[in-house]
Amino acid sequence: MAKKKKGKQVRASFRKRQNTRVRKRDFTKEFNEDADGLSDQRTAERVSGKGDLTRKRTIVGSDAETDASGFEVELDVDAADSLRGRVLRVHGLSSFVSDANGKVWNCSVRGVLKSLSTDLQHVVVAGDYVTIRQFEGSETDQAVIVRVEPRRNQISRTSRKRQQIIVSNVDRALIVASAKEPGLKPNLIDRFLVTAEQAGITPVIVINKADLVDTADLQPAIGVWCQMGYRVILTSTITGQGVQELRRVVHGRDCVVAGQSGVGKSSILNAIEPGLELRVSKVSSENQKGRHTTTTAQLIPLSVKPDESNDVIGQDDDSEGDEYASLYRKGHLIDTPGIRQMQLWDVIPEEVAGYFRDIRPFINECRFPNCSHTHEDDCAIKWAVADGKIDARRYESYCSIRYGDEP
């Protein structure tokens, strides 16, 4: 967390919509209505970057790491009359926040937070640790979010040239795909893997509906991911295959469940956590695409423990020392809406190869330091593909991501 000085005044950029037009333009209409009033019109305007023309304001806070929080500044708040909590879900202008005692608050967002200039599509997202303040004189569950704490990590994508954070502050990502109805999309899984590598989140590949196909047909794709060290779990909510293993994976962790629409994310959550009864829908018979049954990301507290206490992946607890995480040690499952396209955020073409575990070891063996690994001579990665050291499909996935093609 960035160091801050209480009461420090800093200059912060605000959204463009906060600026008002300095000079009115419709003089003809004003002349017809009030000709004498034109003598009061402004005849000059300042262009020095101050006053009504500037997008910067002075606020109380401290400089923050933009990559960690999404904001240029960290607002200063009085801890005496504030509470700490975590965002469970966001519905329109309302954010539902759970405090340390388990009480859920219906919160709006402080105006200055919504006005700060940022690349974020939404200021507050599920999984955020926040500081809230109850409305003065109110005895209800109404409160306001006065500060969003720096995010430890986030799963995000590009949406309309802005950053859409799907969920923040998670330990593991369950990348869910289906063996059939809809069919397996390895390239989309690769994009999720790149996002997880970028965020430093442990990915687990879950292939659902395994009962609909012969598992031998899935072995070529599964084998490639397993050779790189990724864990792959075959599941079926009909037969119960893989459900107990998933319970061991998610126990005591905050795990986001992400993937394409119709792959059975909500069904898997219902199987892991009996009694949850999340709404599910069948895949369209016309185009084999899922329907958007889940409309918003939400944190679901875990209550069911696995039969075995050991974790098959290992104790990769990244939340040590987090003053907020100690309040939420039981773990959560985070259900998310289906994603049909995954355009990466803040990944330049030159960085893509570094996020591929199988391609990364060959990068320094190329003849040219700025090799794109697509058309150059003496490219070690192209030679590795030809020799079978790198899977040809994975290489095609790399090229697709590098040149911005849709999955």
226-267 pLDDT tens trace: 999 999 999 999 999 999 999 999 998 999 999 988 898 989
The answer to whether 310 is annotated as binding is no
Q: What is the mean pLDDT of residues 59-81?
A: 65
Q: What is the mean pLDDT of residues 83-98?
A: 92
The answer to whether 259 is annotated as binding is yes
> How far, CA to CA in Å, does 114 sit from each of 13, 148, 226?
12, 11, 43
Q: What is the mean pLDDT of residues 388-403?
A: 95
Which amino acid is residue 26, in one-letter code? Answer: D
pLDDT band at residue 140, thresholds of 50, 70 and 90? confident
When the pLDDT of each residue in the chain is averaged and rounded to a whole number, the result is 80
Phi, psi dihedrals of residue 355, rounded to the nearest 5°: -95, 0
Helix 219-227 × helix 392-402 angle, to 10°: 70
Q: Please check the confidence at residue 73 and state whether its pLDDT lies above 80.
A: no
b/e string for 30-56 if b means 16 or more Cβ within 10 A? eeeeeeeeeeeeeeeeeeeeeeeeeee
Q: What is the mean pLDDT of residues 381-398?
A: 96
Q: Is the dihedral of CA 369, 372, 373, 376 positive or negative?
A: negative
The answer to whether 37 is annotated as binding is no
Q: What is the mean pLDDT of residues 379-387?
A: 96
The answer to whether 209 is annotated as binding is yes
Give the residue from 119, 183, 190 showing the smallest Cα distance to 346. Answer: 119
The answer to whether 255 is annotated as binding is no
* CATH 2.40.50.140 domain locations along the chain: 1-28+46-151
pLDDT at 365: 94
Is residue 113 within 8 Å of 145, Cβ to Cβ? yes
* CATH 1.10.40.50 domain locations along the chain: 349-402
- Residue 96 per-residue DSSP state: E
CATH superfamily of 156-335: P-loop containing nucleotide triphosphate hydrolases (3.40.50.300)
> How far, CA to CA in Å, does 269 sit from each of 102, 196, 272?
21, 20, 5
Pairing of strands 104-109, 231-234: unpaired
Q: What would the two tokens of residue 286 be? A: 């016309």
The answer to whether 267 is annotated as binding is yes
Residue-wise pLDDT for 302-352, tens only, equals 876 666 444 444 445 444 445 555 445 568 999 988 887 888 988 999 999
CA distance 63 to 65: 7
pTM: 0.80
Q: Please check the confidence at residue 41 and state whether its pLDDT lies above 50.
A: yes
The answer to whether 216 is annotated as binding is no
The answer to whether 261 is annotated as binding is yes
CATH of 1-28+46-151, one of 3.60.15.10, 2.40.50.100, 2.40.50.140, 2.40.110.20: 2.40.50.140
* CATH 3.40.50.300 domain locations along the chain: 156-335
Is residue 235 within 8 Å of 249, Cβ to Cβ? no
Domain range 349-402, CATH class: mainly alpha
Q: What is the mean pLDDT of residues 173-199?
A: 93
Higher-scoring residue by pLDDT: 284, 163: 163
Q: What is the mean pLDDT of residues 10-25?
A: 58
- Residue 120 per-residue DSSP state: B
Give the residue from 365, 284, 296, 282 showing the smallest Cα distance to 335. Answer: 296
- Residue 177 per-residue DSSP state: E
The answer to whether 91 is annotated as binding is no
Longest dimension (CA), the chain: 87
